[in-house]
Amino acid sequence: MSFDPDIIGVVWLSLRVSIVAALIGLAIGAPTGAWMCMQADKRRRIWLAFFSTLLAVPTVVVGLLVYMLLSRSGPLGALELLFTPSAIIVAQAMITLPVVTVFAYRACAEPWNDYGEALRLDIRERWKQVLHLLRMARAGIIMAFLVAFGRAISEVGAVMIVGGNIKGATRVMTTAITLETRQGNFSFAVALGLVLLAISFAVTLTTWLIAQGRVDRV
């Protein structure tokens, strides 16, 4: 059962779209979080409150927003991305973006407080300061990516809305588990559940080990 082609296809698609979405969230959210550390106190609190609020937005609302954008009557309907893996990536990237931003901010806050003045004196360009700060906080940035990946691969509501749960095209682990459980195909659902559980455990363990390493250095 573990070598069922359907299971392998679902798992592969889940990993692919979730990794790409997490990388997009990382590419945008990590420098945004580092940039937030460099802002004045009042502006920084506003931005942090904004992205923290986005963390609480129900993912089905994100899915609905992406659906409206990508539908035929939406502004991006001409791209014909709805009910494709690309639509899932867009939805998951929107979900992971605030996750990465907040975690990156927390990771960069301490080194910026310690070395921010030195960076301002040594490096004039702001974007170079951001890159240097991200390198200093790379362990925290890796943690942000892992948390974002875990959030993406476990998502079901938004993925169901924009992907349509089409067999062989947009069916990922979470939507497949939901469907197969409703249809009474428990062996398939359990197999996928075990794979998803193993992935979640590996991500959690890796995140914990990185966090422990950071604590030990302190």
pLDDT tens-digit map of 11-38 = 999 999 999 999 999 999 999 999 999 9
Q: What is the pLDDT of residues 34-90, one digit of tens each?
A: 999 999 889 999 999 999 999 999 999 999 999 999 999 999 999 999 999 999 999
User: Is it the case that residue 91 has pLDDT exceeding 50?
Assistant: yes
Classify the phi-psi angles of 168: left when phi > 0, otherwise alpha if psi is within -120 to 50, otherwise beta: left
pTM for the model stands at: 0.91
Provide Rg for the chain, Cα atoms: 19
Q: Are 156 and 178 spatial neighbours (Cβ–Cβ below 8 Å)?
A: yes
Return the number of other C-beta atoms located less than 10 Å from residue 128's C-beta.
Answer: 12
Angle at 89 between CA 175 and CA 11, to 5 degrees: 45
Q: How many residues does the chain have?
A: 218
pLDDT of 6 reads 83
Q: Please identify which residue in the block is written with the tokens 């994100």.
A: 62
Token pair listed for 114: 């310690």
CB of 172 closer than 8 Å to CB of 199? no
pLDDT of the residue at 1: 43
